[in-house]
Amino acid sequence: MELISGAGLVVKLVLLILIGFSLLSWAIIFLKFRVIYSAIGDSGRFQQFFWNKRRLDTISKNLKDFPHAPTAVLFRDGYQELMRNQRENNGDEPTPFSAEMGQADNVARALRRATNQETQRLERYLPFLATTGSTAPFIGLFGTVWGIMDAFHGIGQTGSASLAVVAPGISEALVATAIGLVAAIPAVVAYNHFVSKVNVLTGDMDSFCQEFLNIVGRMLRRS
């Protein structure tokens, strides 16, 4: 605190910016930890429930038990699209093959749309962590360079280059680099960790879409 209080105005401004980046990064880290791990837990439970029940109408009535599962959202949108198409094509005559393919395509589009929306929800705010990890060290370095320039300017004015004169100004300037690294390192670690978890969830969603479309195809062929 003594080093920060003795720093120049520009260095203090840099430190304030870095502290803001760090606080926002930690808020996002805690938020995404809750969101992503809730999604992982609910998604695993939903897929187990899905394969145990197998009846689509029964599954649709219990979706509220899996509020954070991305695959539950995919099932809801795909099932709603399937029911909508069946209501529109309900009749006494057999459904033509082209109509069956159209229904399957509509369900596939609904699943793709839901997948994109869920992926965007899971990835929300993660770019800020990447930005913090890539820019915070440079912002801190700017504060350090400015502080060293200010320190050498003071040396030139006093005409003394002793260690007692040089060391305080340089140590105050180096605080900016340290704070920049403190802000950047947790952001980079958290970003890489969360991106890997989102990729796992995205893979699960893609696999679920394929399985659901296979089930829909068999249903339409039997109808």
Show the low-confidence residues of the chain (pLDDT under 70): 1-8, 89-102, 154-155, 157-169, 223
**Residue 97 confidence (pLDDT):** 44
**Residue 93 confidence (pLDDT):** 47
- Name the domain count of the chain: 1
**Residue 37 confidence (pLDDT):** 96
Which region holds residue 90: left if phi is over 0, alpha if psi is between -120 and 50, else beta?
A: beta
Structure tokens at 169: 């100004």
**Residue 92 confidence (pLDDT):** 45
Structure tokens at 190: 């958290």
Neighbours of 52 (CB within 10 A): 8
> How far apart, in whole angstroms, are the C-alpha atoms of residue 175 and residue 12?
10
Q: Which domain holds residue 210?
A: 2-222
